[in-house]
Amino acid sequence: MKPITYASLGASLILAGISPIFFKLALVQIKGEGLSFGAVKAFLTNRYALAGLTFYAVSSFLWLVSLSDLPASLMYPLLNLAYVLTVLLAAVYLKEPVHALRWVGVLLIIVGSILVGIN
């Protein structure tokens, strides 16, 4: 495997983990808009939403770069590592409570990803 493949995979997972945080920040700012044209417009013009969309788009592109060189049976389970990053960032930056059972789930994702990654 080429080093760029692993770099693309790592960057993809990081960006996929970060983008939901930006989406949440955008939604907090436009709270109360409901599901209307105005809400969609407010979301699509919000700087946090635009950052989240950009990170998500770049993540998807980098994911495809990695997928072209790595097996899908490895790639898709590893995508769950992005959820781990999202939980950590939500706890730290959004001050969201993360209860013990959720931490157990995070640990299981990490262990599962390690097991999938072992050849």
For the whole model, what pTM was predicted?
0.87
pLDDT higher than 80, residue 32: no
Contact 42, 33 (CB under 8 A): yes
CA–CA separation, 99 vs 115, rounded Å? 25
CA–CA separation, 108 vs 31, rounded Å? 33
CB within 8 A of 65, min separation 6: which ones?
4, 5, 8, 12
Query: 64-115 pLDDT, tens per residue?
Result: 999 999 998 888 888 999 999 999 999 999 999 999 999 999 999 999 999 9
